[in-house]
């Protein structure tokens, strides 16, 4: 291989490797940022306990959760998991009756 081609190949490999390192670093930074956001979002709600009711406003602010992906137990019929203020809340859809509350970071 001619010296000029060899240097081009070496340069291309070097750029490719640097790009991979940058992508890996970006992913790590994104994960740390996501983890930090989850920590900032957590709000303790002492009033949320089994047998209590979650307000419609709080329930509607929450996002429905894929219970299987988060290693949560399957909700009974008429119940669903929501993530609200960094908490996983299992409650009856119709009434807001709470069956379980777990801090979201503990279920991951």
Q: Please write the tens of the pLDDT for every residue from 89-106.
A: 999 999 999 999 999 876
pLDDT at residue 104 in the model: 86
pLDDT at residue 23 in the model: 43
Q: Is the pTM of this model over 0.75?
A: no
Task: Give the residue among 30, 44, 34 at the shortest CA–CA distance from 87.
Answer: 44
Is 75 domain-assigned? yes
**H or E segment to which residue 79 belongs:** strand 79-84
What range does the domain containing 97 cover? 56-107
Report pLDDT digits (tens) over 1-47: 556 656 655 565 555 544 544 344 444 555 554 444 444 578 999 99
The total number of structural domains that make up the chain = 2
pLDDT at residue 14 in the model: 53
Task: Give the residue among 84, 76, 77 at the shortest CA–CA distance from 56.
Answer: 84
Which pair of tokens denotes residue 102?
């777990």
* Same domain? 102 vs 71: yes
Is 48 domain-assigned? no
Is 49 domain-assigned? no
Is 64 domain-assigned? yes
- 87-97: string of b/e by CB count within 10 Å (b at 16+)? bbbbbbeeeeb
Report pLDDT digits (tens) over 53-97: 999 999 999 999 999 999 999 999 999 999 999 999 999 999 999
């Amino acid at each position: 291989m001619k010296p000029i081609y060899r240097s081009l190949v070496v340069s291309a490999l070097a750029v490719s490797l640097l790009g991979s390192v940058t992508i890996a670093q970006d992913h790590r930074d994104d994960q740390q940022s996501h983890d930090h956001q989850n920590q900032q979002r957590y709000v303790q709600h002492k009033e949320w306990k089994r047998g209590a009711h979650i307000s419609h406003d709080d329930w509607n602010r929450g996002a429905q959760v894929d219970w299987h992906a988060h290693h949560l137990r399957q909700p009974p019929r008429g119940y669903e998991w929501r993530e609200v203020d960094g908490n996983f809340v299992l409650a009856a859809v119709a009434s807001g009756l709470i069956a379980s509350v777990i801090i979201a970071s503990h279920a991951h």
